[in-house]
């Protein structure tokens, strides 16, 4: 970079009075104020704001439609096309989880079960959302692609117990995922 010597501009006599530039500034701020009051702040459309400034007024307006594909929200378990739990309770996510938010109690599938070949399914799967840091490691490490970070972000509760997501709740949030790998799927 070449050195650029910035010279102070020499002011004309009326610029020495400051008043014209102060008036100019007042006009600019006034324009902004008027546009904000009329709900036409520039940029409010792109930022999905109320128009009174570019601020989004949160509970009334939400950014949900604009969330990117890779958004990391609440982690949840998913079932596959056959309505089967994908999780085989290998506990990799439990081991990788940096804040140790995940607790899994593995359970066995009985030999009568149509998917007995899989052998295992979680008996209990708890994610403590007070501990969760939304890092997405569980999703990354899962060999069965059974756990995903969803786009939900407004996890609230009034007690510690409420903030623990149990298995049913996790499946409820996660829903069904189609396609992808089904390692032990006989139909494949």
Partner 1 sequence: MDWASLLITAVKIIGFTFMVIMPLVAYSTYAERRVAAIIQDRVGPNRVGLPLTLFGARKDLNFFGLVQPLADGLKGLFKEDLTPAHVRKSFYWLAPAFTVVPAFITLCVIPFGSEITVFGRNVQLVIADIGVGPLFIFAIASLSVYGITLAGWSSNSKYPFFGGVRSCAQMISYEIALGLSIIPVLMVFGKLNLTDIVAHQAAHGWLLLPLWGDGLSLQNWLLLIPLGISFVVFTTSIFAETNRMPFDLPECETELVGGYHTEYSSMKFALFFMGEYAAMIVGSALIVTVFFGGWSLGFGLDHALLQNADGDWKWFAGFIHFGVFLAKTIAFILFFIWVRWTVPRFRYDQLMKLGWVVFFELALFNIFLAALIIAAPHLGAVKTIFIGVPTLLLVAAIMFFITLSAEGKSKVRPT
Answer for which of 11, 14, 20, 37 binds partner 1 (CB under 8 A) is 37
Rule CB under 8 A: is residue 11 a binding residue for partner 1?
no
Instruction: Show the CA angle centred on residue 92, arms to residues 78 and 96, nearest 5°.
Output: 110
Complex with partner 1: residue 52 or 164, whichever CB lies closer: 52
Terminal C-alpha separation, the chain: 62
Complex with partner 1: residue 24 or 188, whichever CB lies closer: 24
Task: Report d(CA 96, CA 111) in Å as an integer.
Answer: 30
Question: Of 38-57, which residues contact partner 1 (CB under 8 A)?
Answer: 41-43, 50, 52-55, 57
Q: How far is the CB of 126 from partner 1 (least distance, A)?
A: 31
x/- site string to partner 1, residues 13 to 32, per CB under 8 A? ------x--x--xx-xxx-x
Task: Report d(CA 87, CA 122) in Å as an integer.
Answer: 7
Q: How far is the CB of 38 from partner 1 (least distance, A)?
A: 10
Using an 8 Å Cβ cutoff, are 102 and 126 in contact?
A: yes
Residues 6+ apart with CB under 8 A from 116: 109, 110
Q: Report residue 103: phi and psi, to 5°.
A: -125, 125
Complex with partner 1: residue 25 or 114, whichever CB lies closer: 25
Using an 8 Å Cβ cutoff, are 166 and 76 in contact?
A: no
Complex with partner 1: residue 60 or 161, whichever CB lies closer: 60
Complex with partner 1: residue 34 or 130, whichever CB lies closer: 34
Task: Report d(CA 127, CA 170) in Å as an integer.
Answer: 8
Binding site for partner 1 (CB under 8 A): 19, 22, 25-26, 28-30, 32-33, 36-37, 41-43, 50, 52-55, 57
């Amino acid at each position: 970079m070449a050195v650029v010597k910035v010279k102070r501009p020499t002011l004309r006599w009326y610029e020495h009075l400051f008043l014209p530039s102060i008036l100019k500034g007042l006009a600019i701020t006034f324009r902004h104020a008027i546009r904000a009051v009329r709900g036409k702040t520039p940029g409010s459309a792109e930022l999905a704001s109320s128009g009174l400034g570019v601020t989004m007024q949160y509970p009334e307006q939400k950014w949900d439609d604009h969330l990117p594909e890779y958004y990391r929200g609440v982690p949840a378990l998913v079932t596959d096309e056959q309505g089967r739990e994908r999780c085989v309770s290998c506990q990799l996510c439990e081991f990788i989880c940096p804040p140790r938010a995940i607790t899994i109690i593995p359970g066995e599938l009985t030999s009568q079960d149509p998917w007995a070949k899989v052998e295992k399914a979680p008996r209990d799967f708890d994610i403590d959302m007070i501990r969760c840091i939304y890092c997405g490691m569980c999703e990354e490490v899962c060999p069965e692609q059974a756990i995903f970070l969803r786009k939900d972000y407004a996890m609230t509760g009034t007690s510690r117990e409420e903030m623990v997501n149990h298995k049913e709740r996790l499946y409820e949030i996660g829903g069904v995922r189609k396609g992808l790998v089904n390692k032990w799927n006989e139909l494949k």
